[in-house]
């Protein structure tokens, strides 16, 4: 049985969903505004004869036609970073401002963390953490190539993260883009579901919950925490939010994005979730021709 | 146990402002770092006004866009910027790309074809009337000059210093 079949009750036009999941994804890159402007990066692509389009919801992304990012001058100069289109969503929802202290809890290989730094004009602090030392070297490589100077990199377990190395007590914002079952990446990686099991989902949901809890605790009152996964499983999405809402002082808030999305769900296989999880957004592959994603914005209460 | 006047390569320590403030032997000072970029490449000292400089590892200097209490025991802080504790200080490729756009001296302009060979890691015989040593290599892209990285100019030859992992066939 295909693991995605269980989402038939959730997805309108399931045939279109299935068909989209079987189509490979095109190559997308984000313009890194730390090193250049969107306009100049696009001029460089024109100069090289690389054809591209930008999605309406995010003019700083380029969908490349017939080449990969790595083969462009823009990539060498750190102007372009290959990043799946929908992966650019959570950092835009987190929306850091110059001077903010931002926690990227599971940051490697760094696409979203470097995007956070760019959104804050590389002014402030992005603490990019990852538990996996091997993946941290990819994060550091990317951060340096993209010219990020406002990042501090740590190698810890995010679930019991300590602010001890730093001289401040709480973050202004956090991006909690957790390890997940990656069902939404099937278009990029056809092997993504080879290891799929319900047991695995339940185990990873526990890890996700502890990371999100810790991020909420480490963010100041009134601050923003964004929770995201690249999967459809309600056990990893709404159920994790529901559990964290239960134990931590925070609430799910509405946000706007130009993508076509569906609301978070409040019921799954007999379990009921807090009604506010509806404010989260589900991104299905057939709606915008992207990968699959889940994103929720939380406000930390006093 | 190492004395307090020795560099502890496992942590980030902020560079002293000037030689008079130096407590760790051989550590570069902020004044020297800013002067290096200015004297060698003509980069205005104001470019670094919002940066602090740190040492972690032997002579590896990092530029961080902000303030931080010290010492900091973490993996990375800002970006690697300069190799000191050697006869000729050497900017990193990434710092040359990030700050080299402000350079007015010791910048060697390459044609597109020369740039292509430079980023592939090749050494090239190129004429240059200026100083020998570490130059900022640049080329024009999207109608404006843009730094590529660091080249070592010696004996009428520009030696690409692009690290293996950053080299590309373009």
CB within 8 Å of A190: residues ≥ 6 apart: none
> Of A127-131, B29-33, B83-87, which range is least confident?
B83-87
Q: Give the Cα separation of A71 and A141 in Å (integer).
A: 17
Q: Give the Cα separation of A198 and A204 in Å (integer).
A: 10
A63-73 average pLDDT score: 90
Taking only residues 103 to 122 of chain A, the set having a beta carbon closer than 8 angstroms to any beta carbon of chain B reads 122
Helix pair angle (A111-119, A133-145), 10° resolution = 40
A39-59 average pLDDT score: 97
CB atoms within 10 A of CB B152: 16
- The answer to whether residue B5 scores a pLDDT higher than 90 is no
pLDDT value of residue B16:
97
- The answer to whether residue A302 scores a pLDDT higher than 80 is no
Question: What is the least distance, in Å, from the CA of A221 to any CA of chain B?
Answer: 22
Model-level pTM greater than 0.90? yes
Q: Is ipTM > 0.85 here?
A: yes
B143 interfacial to chain A (CB closer than 8 Å): yes
CB contact under 8 Å between B142 and A44, yes or no, is yes
Question: What is the least distance, in Å, from the CA of A153 to any CA of chain B?
Answer: 5
A57-84 average pLDDT score: 94
CB atoms within 10 A of CB B32: 20
- The answer to whether residue A1 scores a pLDDT higher than 70 is no
pLDDT band at B1, cuts 50/70/90?
A: very low
pLDDT value of residue B2:
45
B64 interfacial to chain A (CB closer than 8 Å): yes
B96 interfacial to chain A (CB closer than 8 Å): no
**pLDDT, averaged across chain B:** 95
- The answer to whether residue A113 scores a pLDDT higher than 60 is yes
- The answer to whether residue A98 scores a pLDDT higher than 50 is yes
Interface test with B, best of A42, A52, A77 (most B CBs within 10 A): A77
A152 interfacial to chain B (CB closer than 8 Å): yes
Helix (H, G, I), strand (E, B) or coil at A289: coil
B165 interfacial to chain A (CB closer than 8 Å): yes
Interface test with A, best of B98, B99, B100 (most A CBs within 10 A): B98
Q: pLDDT digits over A187-238, tens only?
A: 999 898 998 999 999 999 999 999 999 999 999 999 999 999 999 999 999 9
**pLDDT, averaged across chain A:** 96
B78-95 average pLDDT score: 96
pLDDT value of residue B3:
53
B140 interfacial to chain A (CB closer than 8 Å): no
* Choice among A106, A180, A230, A250 that is catalytic: A230
Q: Which two tokens stand for residue A93?
A: 């929802």
Question: What is the least distance, in Å, from the CA of B161 to any CA of chain A?
Answer: 14
Q: Give the Cα separation of B115 and A80 in Å (integer).
A: 18
Q: Give the Cα separation of A246 and A260 in Å (integer).
A: 29
The 3 state secondary structure assigned to B69-128 is CCCECCCEECEEEEECCCCCCEECHHHHHHHHHHCCCCEEECCHHHHHHHHCCCCEECCC
Question: What is the least distance, in Å, from the CA of A100 to any CA of chain B?
Answer: 11
Strands of A218-292 (E only): list them. Answer: 219-229, 250-253, 262-263, 267-268, 271-272, 281-283
Q: Contact B149/B166 with Cβ under 8 angstroms?
A: yes
Residue B50 with chain A: CB contacts under 8 Å: 123
Q: Give the Cα separation of A225 and A220 in Å (integer).
A: 10
Nearest CA in chain B to A151: B78
Could you confirm whether A230 is annotated as catalytic?
Answer: yes
pLDDT value of residue A298:
98
- Which residue carries 């941290």 as its tokens? A136
Task: Compute the residue count for chain A.
Answer: 302
B7-28 average pLDDT score: 94
């Amino acid at each position: 049985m295909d693991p995605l079949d269980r989402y038939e009750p959730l997805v309108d036009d399931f045939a279109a969903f299935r068909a989209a999941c079987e189509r490979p994804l095109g190559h997308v890159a984000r313009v890194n505004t730390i090193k250049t402007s969107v306009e100049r990066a696009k001029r460089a692509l024109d100069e090289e004869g690389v054809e591209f389009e930008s999605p309406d919801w995010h003019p700083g992304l380029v969908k490349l036609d017939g080449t990969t990012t790595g083969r462009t001058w823009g990539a060498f100069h750190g102007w372009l970073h290959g990043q799946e289109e929908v992966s650019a969503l959570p950092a835009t929802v987190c929306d850091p401002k110059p001077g903010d202290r931002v926690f990227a809890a599971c940051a490697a290989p760094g696409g979203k963390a470097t995007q956070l730094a760019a959104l804050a004009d590389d002014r402030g602090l992005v603490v990019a953490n990852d538990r996996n030392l091997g993946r941290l070297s990819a994060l550091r490589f990317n951060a340096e190539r993209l010219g990020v100077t406002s990042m501090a990199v740590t190698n810890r377990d995010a679930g019991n993260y300590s602010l001890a190395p730093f001289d401040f007590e709480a973050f202004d914002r956090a991006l909690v883009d957790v390890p997940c079952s990656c069902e939404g990446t099937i278009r990029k990686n056809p092997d993504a579901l080879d290891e799929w099991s319900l047991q695995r989902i339940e185990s990873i949901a526990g890890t996700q919950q502890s990371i999100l809890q810790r991020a909420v605790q480490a963010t100041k009152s009134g601050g923003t925490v964004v929770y995201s996964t690249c999967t459809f499983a309600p056990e990893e999405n709404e159920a994790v939010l529901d559990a964290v809402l239960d134990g931590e002082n925070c609430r799910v808030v509405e946000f706007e994005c130009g993508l076509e999305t569906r609301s978070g769900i409040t019921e799954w296989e007999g379990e009921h979730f807090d009604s506010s999880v509806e404010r989260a957004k589900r991104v299905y592959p057939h709606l915008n021709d992207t990968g699959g994603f889940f994103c929720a914005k939380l406000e930390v209460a006093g | 146990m190492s004395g307090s006047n020795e560099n502890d390569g496992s942590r980030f320590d902020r560079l002293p402002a000037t030689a008079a403030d130096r407590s760790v032997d051989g550590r570069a000072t902020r004044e020297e770092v800013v002067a290096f970029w200015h004297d060698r490449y003509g980069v205005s000292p104001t470019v670094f006004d919002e940066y602090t400089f740190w040492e972690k590892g032997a002579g590896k200097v990092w530029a961080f866009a902000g303030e931080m209490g010290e010492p900091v025991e973490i993996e990375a802080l800002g970006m690697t910027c300069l190799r000191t504790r050697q006869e000729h200080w050497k900017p990193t490729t990434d710092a040359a790309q990030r700050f080299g756009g402000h350079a007015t001296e010791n910048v060697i302009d390459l044609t597109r074809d020369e740039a292509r060979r430079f980023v592939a890691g090749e050494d090239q015989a190129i004429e240059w009337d200026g100083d020998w040593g570490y130059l900022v290599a640049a080329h024009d892209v999207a109608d404006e000059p843009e730094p590529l990285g660091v080249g070592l100019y010696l004996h009428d030859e520009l030696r690409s210093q692009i690290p293996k992992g950053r080299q590309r066939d373009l």
